[in-house]
Amino acid sequence: MRYLIRNGSIIDPAQRVATVGDVLISDGLVEQLVDLTDLHAMPEPVGDDVEIINARGCVIAPGFTDLHVHLREPGDEHKETLASGTLAAAVGGFTTICAMPSTRPITDTAAVVSHVQGIAARDAHVNVEIIGALTKGREGTALAELIELAEAGCIAFSDGGRPIADTALMANALTYAAVLGLPVMTCCEDRRLTAGWAMHEGVVSTRLGLAGFPVAAEEALIARDIALAEAAGAHLHICQVSTAGGVALIRAAKARGVHVTAEVTPHHLTLTDRWVMGNLVPHDTTAITKPQRRGRRKAHPELGINSWLDPSLLPPYDPSTRVSPPLRSEEDIDALIEGLRDGTIDAIATGHAPHALVDKECEYALAAPGISGLETALALVLTLVHRGEMDLVNMIAKLTEGPAQVLGRSPSTLHPGTSADLVIFNPDELWTVDTGQFISKGHNNPLHGQRLKGQVMLTMVAGKIVYRREDFGQGITQSHPTASRLEGILPSDS
């Protein structure tokens, strides 16, 4: 099947393209991309094998890459399978996802890696890359067979949410990884400082009577691992950075030439620890923020102040808000956004962590940490665009070009001759989150009932449509628009 995608706003950060045009897909590849300001516009192809997709009002971009996904299979198929998780990824606009080794058995041997690759070849809807375990059994006591894992096709090493407490072991891991030329991806937490934690340590945790996870516990391990990576000449990737101090440490390390990269999740960019308070938060959420931040936190008039990321829709102590690292403060969010803007943080990754109901419906401090975030990631990050805190081109770069660079690969692109992995989304589409309708088996997401703006309409992998919202794009193709950018969304100098 050939596809002609028409009238879309094409944004391809790798090519520095932000324009309005048409994209022709043929034999699984991007065949042609035409800027509609070009007088020699693409002629409309004819034939029964051509479908014309009208993308007016939508953005056409390279498919997103997620560096941090927990797919659970094998071993915990009641939480997620490769089939359900990769379809959820397609719903979110992701065409490549990197699977963490949080499976049973753990992906710490070539045999398990091969098994997961076989399942993915059979069941996956998008491209799946495997991250091998850094230590045997993810127990943090002995290194896994890293050379064997690399030869089996692993793209990086990580123990997922389990930090390496043994400094000497971490140093050895970075040395081996440097020889192999692969990154070590680490979640930073000094567990001697977080024993029994429930949420971010601060004013809110004191008010709610919950044990806190101090920012120092994250920042101490970030500083240690940066020092070890610098000594080993290794590539260190910090997963789910969540604190202002962490951003500062990464920025300073990059300035002196350390090969360190970092990711941040959509929820750490947009939700604060006040979400744990739920409906104990004053109804007008701007009343509890500092005056200079009120503009950033208040709603768009067309959405209404009470429906724009409103924590009062949740009860207090709702376990869907428990995530590791925890939701942090307004000041941390400010620093994370600035880190994205100035390049300190390389990528946005969901940290998708689906859980069964039994894992969440319990006492807050005992609830399994994690958010099922693939299907809400785009809309959540677009809140930053709609508030004017990020431009759309940079946001897409952090979902495409940035992750590719972390993995040492050529960025995904819409350049002719490349694989047709792409997403079409409407940045202005209003919708209400219903976690009961998630494709993912994990319904653990604090955004249930929230009204968001921005939705994926179609996802394509290697020229095959793997997700389509209802009958999107199948109406009558209209004439070309004259505008060269999405007003208020693309930066004026694009």
Q: What percent of the chain has pLDDT over 90?
A: 85
Which helix (H) or strand (E) segment holds residue 352: the answer is: none
CATH code linked to domain 62-412+430-452: 3.20.20.140
Q: Which residue has the higher pLDDT, 56 or 485?
A: 56
Q: Which of 78-87, 108-117, 278-287, 374-383 has the lowest mean pLDDT?
A: 278-287
pLDDT digits (tens, 9 = 90+) for 90-108: 999 999 999 999 999 999 9
User: Was 370 annotated as part of a binding site?
Assistant: yes
For residues 106 and 113, the answer to whether their CB atoms sit within 8 Å is no
The DSSP-derived string for 405-448 is: HHTT-PPP---TTSB--EEEEEEEEEEE--GGG-SSS----TTT
**Phi–psi pair at 345, nearest 5 degrees:** -100, 125
* Confidence band, pLDDT 50/70/90 cuts, at residue 127: very high
Taking a C-beta distance cutoff of 8 angstroms, is the pair 135, 164 a contact? yes
Q: Is 283 annotated as a binding residue?
A: no
CA-based nearest residue to 31, from 423, 410, 464, 420: 420
Q: Is 355 annotated as a binding residue?
A: yes
Measured in whole angstroms, the distance separating CA 204 from the mean position of its chain's CA atoms is 26
- Write down the pTM of the prediction: 0.92
Structure confidence by residue, pLDDT tens digits, 9-60: 999 999 999 999 999 999 999 999 998 776 556 666 656 788 999 999 999 9
Query: Is 115 known to sit in a ligand binding site?
Result: no
Residue 384 marked in a binding site: no
293 φ, ψ (degrees, to nearest 5): -105, 0
pLDDT averaged over every residue in the chain: 90
pLDDT(292) > 90 = no
Least confident range of 39-43, 64-68, 265-269, 342-346: 39-43
pLDDT value of position 430: 95
40 labelled binding-site residue: no
- pLDDT score of 1: 83
Range from 43-52, 168-177, 458-467 carrying the lowest mean pLDDT: 43-52
201 touches 193 (CB < 8 A): no
Give the start-to-end residue ranges of the domains of the chain. 62-412+430-452
Query: Residue 308: in which H helix or E strand, if any?
Result: none
pLDDT in tens, 426-444: 999 999 999 999 999 999 9
The answer to whether the annotation marks 71 as part of a ligand binding site is yes
In whole angstroms, give the CA distance from residue 146 to residue 285.
Answer: 48
User: Does the structure show a pLDDT above 70 at 300?
Assistant: no
